[in-house]
Structure 1
Amino acid sequence: MEPANSSAALADAQRAVAPAGQLQATPVTTRRWPRALIAAAGAALLAGGAGTVYWFTHKEAPVRYVSVPVTRGEVVRAVTATGSVNPVLTIIVGSYVSGVIQTLSCDYNTKVRKGQVCAKIDPRPYQTLVNQSKAELANARAQLVKDKAALTYARIAYTRNVTLLNRAIVSQDAVDDAKSAYDQASAQIQVDKAAIQQKAAAQESAQVNLEYTDIVSPVDGTVVSRNVTIGQTVAASFQTPTLFLIATDLTQMQVDTNVSESDIGALREGNKAMFTVEAFPNHAFEGQVVQVRQAPQTVQNVVTYDVVVGAENKDLLLKPGMTATSRLITDQREDVLRVPDQALRYSPAVPQPAAEASGAAGRMSPTRGQVRVWVLRQGHPVAVSIKPGLDDDSFTEVLEGQLQAGDRVIVGEQRAGGAGASPAQSFRL
């Protein structure tokens, strides 16, 4: 607005000083920019802004490498399996005879000695059978004495008749009859002896059944289960009932683990083992594989094998029936140079000169059996070839290579998130 006001004031002044009839209009001009120049300037501004936006959105984000040190330690390959804790030897104590439990002298956790009476079945029916068999045996022995006397008489009669026959006093028929009586008396003696043996065996059988009314412990151990009470009737007609379970030695336990068929080939007797139970999750029990059983166990088309792990239980912390999570060691290296497995799987997102010169990073060489890891040196990744050894899914043993303890191997990389950066570029592992 100021240029317009100045022009009007200048025109008024000219009119005031000019003579009459000499007044004339004095044109006032303003400066205008050419349209082409304005258009060119706008295009230049737009091109510069677009270039600035392109540079900010497409420039490479800085990389921060995630690294871990190379260490020395153990590399352990193991098989994990679950199982149950059981005594090494558990004795099932049953009953050979039927009857009513009259007394009970053993309970859970009772320490028993070999031959100790734990329960007693009512012995009266079996005592009656013993008494009856004794009487029958005595009768058979008395019968033998009687028949021996008859044999003596038959022998005397036969001898006398033979003498009389020589004198023609008796007939031959009388002699033959006496001989038959003598032979029968001799045979009866053998029958009586066999009957005595039979009655003696019956008496012994009745006595054995009477003794079986005492339920005794066959071994030294601890009662871990009791299945009867006083007054309960035990029936042993079809199968032997289980009355007690006695563990011979609770200081020696075993873990029966179920190992899948894919892992059973790596296990051998003598392999070390470690296991934990839910009661003591922070206590690792040590053991040893004592048996790899050949019998398969198939459940829902899954085949497993029973691998027995022996372990000491001096503190009696382990109890029968506990669930154990076992780690069966198949191979082990101690105090070896090792790298984490993540380092073997890492390769730079942007190809590095070293990688281009020596092949794809992290790929095993078919000729030398080597793999590549990337070591962070002076802030830059450097490819190093190593020969791997034992792998336990966490660490890999380094057999050969230009690595030493303390070197930092790259396991991943992070990029500052910015425009144009994809999530895969923000973090690579």
Structure 2
Amino acid sequence: MKQSSRRWRYAVAGLAVVVLLVGLAWRWLVPDERPQYLTAKVERGDLENTVLATGTLQAFKQVDVGAQVSGQLKSLKVKLGDKVEKEQWLAEIDPVISQNALRQTQADEQNLAAQRRATAARLAQAELVFQRQRQMLPHAATSKQDYEAAQAELDVQRATLISLDAQIRAARIQIETAQANLGYTRIVAPMDGEVVAIVTQEGQTVIAQQQAPVILKLADLDTMTVKAQVSEADVMRVHPDQSAYFTVLGEPDKRYYGKLRAIEPAPQNFLDTQNPLGGMGGSSRSNTAVFYNALFEVANPGHRLRISMTAQVSVLLGTARQVLHIPVAALGAKAPDGRYAVRVLGADDKLVTRKVHVGLNNNVKVEVRDGLKFGERVVIGEAADAPDAVSGLGL
């Protein structure tokens, strides 16, 4: 009896397992004929329609402090990172050559002044001689030749005096130039700012024949300029006074806001793409992306922003605050009245089609002005079209 009862229990258990396996096989092997949809909820939040650009940070005011005279950099009065004030002494070029040049011009001017005094004395004597010759000539007390010689000598001395006066004026100009060159050996700050780069070190010789060599760079970091590179596809949509913001790699969650000041009329590589004849080079133009620089400024308290930082810039074309929105993929056909068809999946998985008015559209999400309620599920696609999308959406 016990063996018969045990066989019966084994048979029942085996039959249950078979039924369970058949049920599972039927569930997995026989497709569900009901359609499966990918859905997204109607949410509430802020929307922005923006033009994206990559930019770099620059100081709003930046000056290359150079030398106008040649010579050895005798001393450097500041170091990297120092804050300086306008007219502060920054560096000194060896002044010996400039001092000697000034002494030489002063000596030349003194020599010419002495020559002028001598010429003035000779001129006075020539005037006396000429006056006596003119008085004696009517009485035949002198010859015509002596009279003409006295007149010629008087004219020569007068001309010599005029020439020396001109040479003295030129010498004084040379003195002023030498004094200025001597002053240029003392390099001072042209503005308030911070030393952001030192190009020339103490002991180096600078040559200022063709262009002024740079000693150091000063920048006012209280205000930074953002130079955003806007593509030619988007530049028609941006204009001055539009709001813009950017983030930097070190603070990706902090936004810095400003207003566009200008959009440069020529692309940033305009000079590079010109051929020697002044026209645009065809080969380089066809292979080069075209970007236009949009400029705006932001305050920089604490100087946290630094020169040449990379900025991820967004130019705001439109904003909508705390509005209902859905993915753009949920929009269907557009009706003549401007409304769009949207499929909505109810709590009982019943599919209905609604007509909605939309607002701001940033090509990812779209504002819904009427026709939907917060929390409703809208259809954005068929599960068969994207079998892996459901887990990705978390719906």
Out of 273, 287, 303, the position equivalent to 2:244 is: 273
Partner Cα distance (1:297, 1:84) in 2 = 13
Aligned equivalent of 2:278: none
Residues 95, 240 of structure 1: 8 Å contact kept? yes
**Residues 106-155 of structure 1 deviation map (CA, whole Å, 9 limit, x = unaligned):** 11111111111211111101111110110000111111111111111111
Query: Is the alpha carbon distance of 1:76 and 1:424 closer, same or farther for their aligned partners in structure 2, counting shifts above 3 Å?
Result: closer
User: What is the aligned partner in structure 2 of residue 383 from structure 1?
Assistant: 353
Q: Which consecutive residues of structure 1, in runs of 5 or more, have no partner in the other structure?
A: 1-52, 345-361, 415-421
Aligned-partner SS, 1:274: strand
Identity of aligned residues (%): 31
Partners of 2:290 and 2:257 lie apart in 1 by 26
Partner of 2:326: 339
Tell me, yes or no, if the aligned pair for 1:104 and 1:120 is still in contact at 8 Å.
yes
Query: Aligned with 1:161: secondary structure?
Result: helix
2:115 to 119, 140, 143: 143
Does 2:104 align with 1:123? no
**Letter aligned with residue 210 of structure 2:** F
Aligned position for 1:211: 183
Does the CA-based 8 Å contact 1:70-1:405 persist in structure 2? yes
Which residue matches 1:322? 309
Question: What is the rounded CA distance, in whole Å, between the counterparts of 2:202 and 2:387 in structure 1?
Answer: 77
- What is residue 403 of structure 1 aligned with on the other side? 372
Q: Tell me the TM-score normalized by structure 1.
A: 0.76
The Cα of 1:242 is off from its aligned counterpart by 1.2
User: 1:423 & 1:104 partners in 2: Cα distance?
Assistant: 71
Query: Is the Cα–Cα contact under 8 Å of residues 357 and 371 in structure 2 kept in the other structure?
Result: no
Report whether the alignment pairs 1:237 with 2:206: no
Higher relative contact order (CA 8 A, sep 6+): 2
CA deviation map 1:228-280 (0-9, x unaligned): 11111111223221111101x21210111211110111111122222111222
CA drift at 1:59: 6.4
Aligned to 2:297: 310
Gaps of 5+ in 2: 1-24, 270-283
For the Cα contact (< 8 Å) 1:78–1:328, is it kept in 2? yes
2:72 is the alignment partner of 1:100 = yes
**2:164 alignment partner AA:** D
Deviation at 1:284, TM superposition (A): 2.1
Match of 1:372 in 2: 341
Give, in whole Å, the separation in 1 of the partners of 2:117 and 2:29: 127
TM-score, normalised relative to structure 2: 0.82
The 2-side partners of 1:165 and 1:93 are apart by: 72
Most deviating of 156-165 and 273-282: 273-282
| Count of residue pairs the alignment pairs up | 350
Contact residue 274 and residue 327 of structure 1 kept, 8 A: yes
Q: Tell me what 2:147 maps to.
A: 175
Equivalent residues of 1:133, 1:206 under 8 A apart: yes
CA distance in 2, matches of 1:426, 1:143: 103
Alpha carbons of structure 1 residues 178 and 426: separation in structure 2 relative to 1, 3 Å? closer
Q: Deviations over 1:162-219 (max 9, x none)?
A: 1111222112222121111111111111111001011111111111111111121111
Secondary structure of the 1:74 match is strand
- Please list, as runs of the form range in 1=range in 2, the aligned pairs for 1:27-38 lying within 5 A after superposition: none
Q: Which has the larger radius of gyration?
A: 1
Q: Which amino acid aligns with 2:377?
A: R
The verdict on how the C-alpha distance between 1:169 and 1:393 changes in structure 2, with shifts beyond 3 A counting, is: same
